[in-house]
Each structure stands twice: as structure tokens, then as C-alpha cells.
């Protein structure tokens, strides 16, 4: 059995994309490959074929491997609900919501399911490519660690450390990581990779040699910036592109607990459409055609956040001007009259007044709906495929005008004037025919693009990029 772990000298150094590209490169060499991340923290989640949820990055890596996503690929998922607390998902199922200071006490009990999931993948595949979380240099978190060196030690997996030169200080990132690690952990690191280089990589030859000399680690190459990275789903909200394209404006509100924001990815390549991710403090443009309120991990909290930006006033003005509004999942709940949480599932018990643009009321319930969904869009009668990942149920008169139907049952709601829409369906814009029809209904240009084929082509291009610039054969030898 072969396995290799990619860790980062810091957060957001490009581990997820690097693992996705390596997955595709190894698969093209004839290996059966699976991705694995022991612990992830992200509100961008995917529903798995076995009915659970994992980080969206692991779903992309599974796609790169030609596999359906499984809960074993990301056995511990932390979904932040506030500044100090997260929902804890273990092997696809929510088990608790804990404050950050209490998570350390929970971690030791999580190593068993982590290793159980890893060993199941090991038994089924030639190679498991493991992604760390954050950085092993956060040695204050080493006790009970399941994400980086604690896992590498328990599973006996060699480690390659990735540094991000685009941020600057990459020599200090890598040499400094070795300096603060315990000698036993430092010895588990067998090599390093420089990521996100812009310009002529030969200009860094001296720095590259210095890192190798100071650490004793083998260098596996310098990877230039991959310009098509924006075509693949981002995992971290920090990676959200502020605006893409030119033409008619589709505006998405970047909520403080935004979730499943890759719903918008298929729109970004549409000609004649400008997708704007609106950041806090920015007004909604008066010439927007469509405003999207996306999913949220804290619906009531993000309603307060939305109002603090003045977006509630902007939305009402946008609607008065004849503009369209689409709420997805938590955004759908916000569009209603009220969001009730009597049991305090997402925070303190209570209720919050909604935006009042849809005549529905949402009540949070303990059960979470996790399912892949095939639906029929009512306006176009076209099939769309997506997934549901939410708590809460929405009911009210506007449900008599559903956005879609699922197995003959109404899904979502539409206002009486037809200009405000809500749906629990994530991933809906990945359905090509539906996306084109939806845009045409808005009076926007649309093409019959094959979004899935574009993602596959980008993964192939990423694998080519990695094969060109990194010592892939050396990494395979290390995995063995």
C-alpha cells in the first residue's frame, strides 16, 4: 500500500488544488487513487454518495480520481457557525456543536474514526493522497492532533511540506517550520514543494538550494502559478473572486458565514455575464439584473449581518426597480417572513424577522436533510440535478408556486410577481440546459456550455502543469 501526505507551511498555500492535480496525474498513470483529509474546516460541503457530507475540496479530488465522493475521504468536518463555535461532522454525520476551546477535549476520541476511514480507503486503492489542514508549525495544537503530524505519526505516512512563495517569506515558512517542530515530527517530512511562483522559477534557484541545505529535505520542484485555478471550486471563502466576466451583472452577497459558494461557479464562464461577489460594506449595484443570496451556516446570524451592510434596503430597492432575486438554501430562508429557531440549533433560541420578500416561514429542526436531488424546474420544465444540505423547513402560501418539483412534490417558492425565487437546491447551475434557460428568462445571453467537461479539462490541465514542473516520479517513490 502506498500513501503520501501533503501538508502546508501555512493555511491557503494551495494544498487542496495540488492534491487534486496529483490525484489526476496518478490516475492517468494507471493507479487506483483516493483522496483523504483527516480533518477539514469549511462551510463549503458536498453530499456524498453514501448520504453524508464532506469538504467540497475532497469532492473535487474524488472527481479528479474518477470516484464518487465518500464520507471516508474526509471523516472529520468542522463547519463554523460563529466566531467561537463549529458544528462537528464525523464520518458524514453531525455529532455536536462545540466551542473552539472545547474541541481540544473532543479531538482524542476522533483519531479512531479517522484511522478507520483511512484504512478502509487503503484497502481499496493503490494510493491514498492525504491532505493536511492548516500547518504543522502550529505546534501549540500538536497535542491530540488528528490533522497533521498526529495523523502522520499514527498512520505511518511520509510528509511533503508545501510553501506559498506568492505570499513572500517562503524560506522562513519552510526553514522555520522545521525549527519549531519536534525532531520526531520534523523527521517525518521527507521533502518540500514551492507553490504559486510567478515569473521565471530559475530566479529562485539559490533560495531553493538554501531551503534544501538548511532542512536536509529533498526538493520536489517549484510549481508556477496555475492561471486556470479560478475554474475549479474554491474551498475557502478567502479565495472567492470578487468579480469575473463582463456584461450584465449577477450579484451574490458574500455573507459572513457563506456556505456552498461554488454554486455560482458555472455562471462565471458565461459570456455577457459579470458575476460580482459583493463584499461587506459595498452597496448592491443599481443596474444588477439578478441578486443571489447564497447559503449560510448561520441563517439568523447572517440576516443580522445582511442588515448591518444595508443590503436589506438595497434589496427592496432592487425589487422595486423590477430586478430579480434568488435565495439558495439559507438565502431562501432569509427571504421569508420569519426564521424561527426555538431549540437554539444554530445559536441562541429565538426568532428573527426575515426580509419579507417571500410569504414563507422557516423553522429550524434538529434533523439535517442530506441528499442528492433530481428536480424539474417548473418554469422551463427542464431537469436539473443538485443536492440538499440544510436544517429547517419552510412553509407558506408562496410554496403554492414552487421553484421546482422533486418526485411530484413542490420544492422552493416563488413570489406572486414572479421576481423573487427561493430554493433549497445547491449546485443547480451545473445543469447546463437549465442554466441556459434560466439566463435567457432573465434576458441575458446564454450558451450551451458543458460545465462538467470544462472542470474535467481543467483538472487535466492542472495535472499537465504538475507533471511539467514537479518531480512526480520522485513523489511516487516517496509514497512507496
The beta strands (E) that lie in 64-126 are given as: 76-80, 85-90, 93-99
* Alpha-carbon span 148 to 8, nearest angstrom: 9
Catalytic position from the list 319, 329, 377, 469: 329
* Alpha-carbon span 223 to 469, nearest angstrom: 6
Residue burial 451-465, b: 16+ Cβ < 10 Å; e: rest: beebbeebbebbbeb
- 451 an active-site residue? no
Q: Is 301:333 a contact under the CB 8 Å cutoff? A: no
Residue that the C-alpha cell 455529532 belongs to: 95
Q: Is 324:439 a contact under the CB 8 Å cutoff? A: no
Residues 6+ apart with CB under 8 A from 361: 336, 337, 338, 339, 340, 354, 394, 395, 396
- 65 an active-site residue? no
Q: Is 465:211 a contact under the CB 8 Å cutoff? A: no
What cell was used for 344? 437554539
What is the separation, in whole angstroms, between the first and last Cα of the chain? Answer: 7
Catalytic position from the list 426, 451, 465, 469: 426
- Of 420, 340, 431, 329, whose CA–CA distance to 384 is shortest? 431
* Alpha-carbon span 134 to 409, nearest angstrom: 43
What cell was used for 63? 472527481
Catalytic (active-site) positions: 329, 426
Amino acid at each position: 500500500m502506498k500513501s503520501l501526505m501533503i501538508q502546508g507551511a501555512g493555511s491557503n498555500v494551495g494544498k487542496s488544488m495540488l492534491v487534486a492535480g496529483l490525484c489526476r496525474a496518478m490516475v492517468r498513470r494507471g493507479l487506483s487513487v483516493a483522496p483523504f483529509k483527516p480533518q477539514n474546516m469549511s462551510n463549503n460541503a458536498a453530499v456524498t454518495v453514501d448520504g453524508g457530507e464532506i469538504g467540497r475540496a475532497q469532492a473535487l479530488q474524488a472527481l479528479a480520481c474518477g470516484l464518487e465522493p465518500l464520507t471516508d475521504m474526509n471523516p472529520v468536518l468542522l463547519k463554523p457557525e460563529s466566531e467561537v463555535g463549529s458544528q462537528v461532522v464525523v464520518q458524514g454525520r453531525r455529532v455536536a456543536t462545540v466551542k473552539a476551546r472545547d474541541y481540544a477535549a473532543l479531538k482524542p476520541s476522533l483519531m479512531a474514526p479517522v484511522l478507520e476511514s483511512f484504512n478502509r480507503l487503503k484497502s481499496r486503492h493503490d494510493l491514498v493522497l492525504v491532505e493536511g489542514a492548516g500547518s504543522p508549525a502550529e505546534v501549540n495544537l500538536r497535542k491530540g492532533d488528528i490533522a497533521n503530524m498526529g495523523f502522520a505519526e499514527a498512520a505511518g505516512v511520509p510528509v511533503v511540506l508545501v510553501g506559498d512563495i506568492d505570499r513572500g517569506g517562503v524560506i522562513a515558512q519552510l526553514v522555520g517550520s522545521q525549527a519549531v517542530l519536534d525532531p520526531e515530527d520534523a523527521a517525518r517530512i521527507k521533502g518540500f514543494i514551492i507553490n504559486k511562483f510567478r515569473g521565471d522559477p530559475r530566479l529562485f534557484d539559490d533560495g531553493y538550494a538554501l531551503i534544501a541545505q538548511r532542512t536536509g529535505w529533498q526538493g520536489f520542484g517549484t510549481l508556477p502559478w496555475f492561471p486556470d485555478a479560478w475554474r475549479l471550486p474554491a474551498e475557502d471563502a478567502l479565495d472567492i473572486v470578487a468579480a469575473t466576466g463582463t456584461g450584465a451583472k449577477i450579484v451574490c452577497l458574500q455573507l459572513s458565514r457563506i456556505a456552498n459558494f461554488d454554486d455560482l461557479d458555472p455562471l462565471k464562464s458565461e459570456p455577457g455575464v459579470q458575476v460580482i461577489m459583493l463584499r461587506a460594506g459595498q452597496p448592491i449595484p443599481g443596474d444588477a439584473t439578478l441578486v443571489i443570496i447564497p447559503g449560510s451556516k448561520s441563517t439568523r446570524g447572517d440576516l443580522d449581518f445582511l442588515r448591518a451592510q444595508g443590503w436589506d434596503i438595497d434589496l427592496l430597492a432592487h425589487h422595486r426597480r423590477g430586478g430579480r432575486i434568488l435565495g439558495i438554501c439559507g438565502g431562501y430562508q432569509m427571504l421569508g417572513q420569519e426564521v424561527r429557531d426555538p431549540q437554539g440549533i444554530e445559536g441562541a433560541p429565538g426568532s428573527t424577522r426575515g426580509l419579507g420578500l417571500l410569504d414563507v416561514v422557516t423553522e429550524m429542526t434538529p434533523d439535517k436533510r442530506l441528499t442528492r436531488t433530481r428536480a424539474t424546474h417548473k418554469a422551463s420544465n427542464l431537469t436539473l440535478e443538485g443536492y440538499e444540505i440544510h436544517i429547517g423547513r419552510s412553509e407558506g402560501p408562496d410554496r403554492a408556486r414552487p421553484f421546482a418539483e422533486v418526485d411530484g412534490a413542490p420544492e422552493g417558492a416563488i413570489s406572486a410577481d414572479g421576481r423573487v425565487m427561493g430554493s433549497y437546491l445547491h449546485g443547480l447551475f451545473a445543469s447546463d440546459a437549465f442554466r441556459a434557460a434560466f439566463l435567457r428568462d432573465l434576458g441575458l445571453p446564454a450558451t450551451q456550455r458543458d460545465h462538467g467537461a470544462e472542470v474535467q479539462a481543467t483538472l487535466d490541465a492542472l495535472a499537465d502543469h504538475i507533471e511539467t514542473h514537479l518531480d512526480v516520479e520522485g513523489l511516487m517513490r516517496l509514497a512507496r
